[in-house]
Amino acid sequence: MVLGDMDGDGHLDAVTKDQGTAVVRIFYGDGSGKSFVESSAGLPNSEVGDFSMAWHDVGDVDGNGNLDIVIVSGGDAVKNDLQVLVR
Ligand SMILES: [Ca+2]
Ligand SMILES: [Ca+2]
């Protein structure tokens, strides 16, 4: 899980992946630190591969001010795959 303000409302949100799958989910925080609302809206490519992801993080890759999700997939010792979900 990584934290970042994915929707720009000033409150931290949590970006997770399902255990054993390649599905990314965002849980939007309300600023209380106690309540999060799950949404996959804006993640049309969240199913990123047939193998489990090894690592994911958030950062503004394209410099537009919105955090993007960067995923490095693993599972094959020879081939790794880099995916960027640009927002
Ligand atoms: Ca937020
Ligand atoms: Ca961006």
* 16 to 28, 63, 77, 78: CA distances (angstroms): 11, 22, 23, 25
Distance 4 CA to ligand 1 centre (A): 7
- Tell me the sheet residues that pair with 84: 70
Distance 78 CA to ligand 1 centre (A): 36
35 vs 87: CA distance, rounded Å = 23
Distance 76 CA to ligand 1 centre (A): 34
Distance 18 CA to ligand 2 centre (A): 23
- In this predicted model, what pLDDT tens digit does every residue of 37-62 receive, in sequence order? 887 655 545 454 544 556 789 999 99
- In this predicted model, what pLDDT tens digit does every residue of 14-24 receive, in sequence order? 988 776 666 77
Q: What is the mean pLDDT of residues 55-80?
A: 80
Task: Classify strands 13-17 and 2-4 as parallel, antiparallel or unpaired.
Answer: antiparallel
Which segments of the chain are extended strands (E)?
A: 2-4, 13-17, 24-29, 36-39, 53-59, 68-73, 81-85
Structure token digits, residue 53: 């992801």
Distance 60 CA to ligand 2 centre (A): 4
- The reported pLDDT for the residue numbered 76 is 58
